[in-house]
Amino acid sequence: MALLVVPACLLVLALLVGPMVLMFRISLEQFSPTELMIATVSPDNYVRAATDPYYQEVILSTLGVALLCTALTLVIAYPAAYWLARLQSGWKSLVVIATMFPLLVGNVVRAAGWMALFDRGGLVNQTLLAIGVIREPLALMYTPKAVVLGIIAVVLPYMILTISAVIESIPRDLEDAASNLGASAMRTFWRVILPLSAPGVAAGSILVFVLCMNTYATAVLLGGPRFKMMAPAVFDQFVRGNNWPMGATLAFMLLAVTMTFTVLGSVVFARRYRVR
């Protein structure tokens, strides 16, 4: 029986663990424009990533965007999650599938949709022009705002599904009891629903934060070439700079942050709250 896991384990070892070890090793080497890299063992690249203003800006803007998007996503997702959890019609499974559907369509397609909306001739500008709110088309594309909205759209389904799974496990009786005892709807929310759904909020936020940190397509397409986040910066190091050691360093930092939060998420919260 145990032999059945061997092929899967070998593949994950060869295609994931191996490359990650190789990546860590290369992150300790030294970049050379003429011969790819010079064999050495030094933390220089990590020091540079932490002190060089360019990399500092990339790291800080990635963290900033990820935090902002996570907070906004939580606020926007919560009412929808509650609604979905308490939905009692035959449509429920359809709504769950519909919420999942955009996740499976892919980020590039959704970024394209935002581009059609935000372009100079796009729906938003044309509508505002037509009703006379603005005279000149607004530059909506290639702004941090466009990236933030684009990322929120990508991660919203994860947050909704995670939180609603937890709210579903809160018995309705508790809400009824609170309101029978005279609590207002607001008070019931703050004192009963929100505390009991805290594991879902935390698990969803951690998952979403990690996804935001790793954004590629949305940042490149809606942010334009000057907007820098970690994942596009990693790509640039390999493709444009051909700088393997620095690319490996940035990638490894991204991996470390992602793994820390993912492990945190699964250690702190019970297994049943873990997300799809």
Candidates 51-59, 175-183, 194-202, 212-220; binding stretch for other proteins (CB under 8 A): 212-220
Query: Is residue 203 a contact residue for other proteins (CB under 8 A)?
Result: no
Candidates 43-51, 59-67, 171-179, 243-251; binding stretch for other proteins (CB under 8 A): 243-251
Least Cβ distance, residue 197 to other proteins (angstroms): 16
Least Cβ distance, residue 78 to other proteins (angstroms): 8
Q: Which of residues 24-63 bind other proteins (CB under 8 A)?
A: 26
Candidates 39-47, 50-58, 113-121, 168-176; binding stretch for other proteins (CB under 8 A): 113-121
Is the CB of 46 or the CB of 244 nearer to other proteins? 244
3-state secondary structure the chain: CHHHHHHHHHHHHHHHHHHHHHHHHHHCCEEECCCEEECCCCCHHHHHHHHCHHHHHHHHHHHHHHHHHHHHHHHHHHHHHHHHHHCCCCCHHHHHHHHHHHHHHCHHHHHHHHHHHHCCCCHHHHHHHHCCCCCCCCCCCCCHHHHHHHHHHHHHHHHHHHHHHHHHCCCHHHHHHHHHCCCCHHHHHHHHHHHHCHHHHHHHHHHHHHHHHCCCHHHHHHHCCCCCCHHHHHHHHHHCCCCHHHHHHHHHHHHHHHHHHHHHHHHHCCHHHCCC
Query: Is residue 192 a contact residue for other proteins (CB under 8 A)?
Result: no
Q: Of the candidates 239, 267, 270, 272, which one interacts with other proteins according to CB under 8 A? A: 239
Other beta carbons within 10 angstroms of residue 215's beta carbon come to 25
Cα 159 from chain centre: 10
Q: Which of residues 125-144 bind other proteins (CB under 8 A)?
A: 126-127
Least Cβ distance, residue 160 to other proteins (angstroms): 7
Say how far apart CA 251 and CA 247 lie, in whole Å. 6
Is the CB of 41 or the CB of 239 nearer to other proteins? 239
Least Cβ distance, residue 65 to other proteins (angstroms): 15
Q: Of the candidates 50, 60, 71, 112, which one interacts with other proteins according to CB under 8 A? A: 112
Q: Of the candidates 152, 166, 202, 208, which one interacts with other proteins according to CB under 8 A? A: 152
Least Cβ distance, residue 240 to other proteins (angstroms): 12
Other beta carbons within 10 angstroms of residue 3's beta carbon come to 6
Confirm if 249 and 55 have CB atoms less than 8 A apart: no
Candidates 17-25, 41-49, 52-60, 172-180; binding stretch for other proteins (CB under 8 A): 17-25
Q: Which of residues 74-103 bind other proteins (CB under 8 A)?
A: 76-77, 79-80, 83, 92-94, 96-97, 99-102
Size of the site for other proteins (CB under 8 A): 82
Query: Is residue 254 a contact residue for other proteins (CB under 8 A)?
Result: yes
Query: Is residue 119 a contact residue for other proteins (CB under 8 A)?
Result: yes
Say how far apart CA 130 and CA 165 lie, in whole Å. 43
Q: Of the candidates 58, 59, 247, 269, which one interacts with other proteins according to CB under 8 A? A: 247
